[in-house]
Amino acid sequence: MDKKLEKVEHNDAGLIRIADEVVGIIAGMAATEVPGVAGMSGGLVGGIAEMLGKRNLSKGVKVEVGEREAAVDLFIIAEYGVRIPDVALQVQENVKKAIESMTGLDVVEVNIHVQGVGFAPETKDEDVRVR
C-alpha cells in the first residue's frame, strides 16, 4: 500500500498537515536557486540524465517525512565547470534551511545525487565586428 506521508501537527486551533509533495517542492526550489545547479534530473534515460524544467520542481526529489523529521534525496544536474562538491554542499545547506524555516521539520539528511553535467547553450559570436 502506497501511503502518502505528511507532517501532522496538533494545536489548540486544530490540525496542520504538510504533505510530502510540499516538502519536495520546497527542496526543489531551494536546490535550483544555488549557482552551479543546471536543473533537476528526472532520472537516466538511455544512459543520459533527463533535465526537468521549472514546472516539475518536486520531480527529481525524494522526500521521507515523519512527524517531526524529514530526509531528502535530490537528483541534480550540475553546470559544466563548477566544483561539484562545493555546489552539492551549498545545495544541502540551502535545502535544509528552506525546509526547516518553512515547515518546522527537522531535516536529518539531504543526500545529493549528481546525475549529469549541463552545458550552456552555444551562442553566436555577434560581438565580433569586421572593419
Structural domain contains residue 20: yes
Q: Has residue 19 been placed in a domain?
A: yes
Q: Give mean pLDDT in consecutive 10-residue pieces for the chain, a chain of 131 residues.
A: 52 79 94 93 60 64 90 95 97 98 96 90 53 48
pTM: 0.76
Q: Length of the chain in residues, anyone?
A: 131
98: in domain: yes
CA distances from 85 to 51, 88, 114, 116 (A): 20, 5, 10, 14
CATH code: domain of residue 114: 3.30.70.1350
pLDDT digits (tens, 9 = 90+) for 2-35: 444 555 565 677 877 788 899 999 999 999 999 9
Say how many domains are in the chain. Answer: 1
Tell me, yes or no, whether 128 lies in a domain.
Answer: no
Domain-located, residue 42:
yes
**Residue 91, domain extent:** 6-118
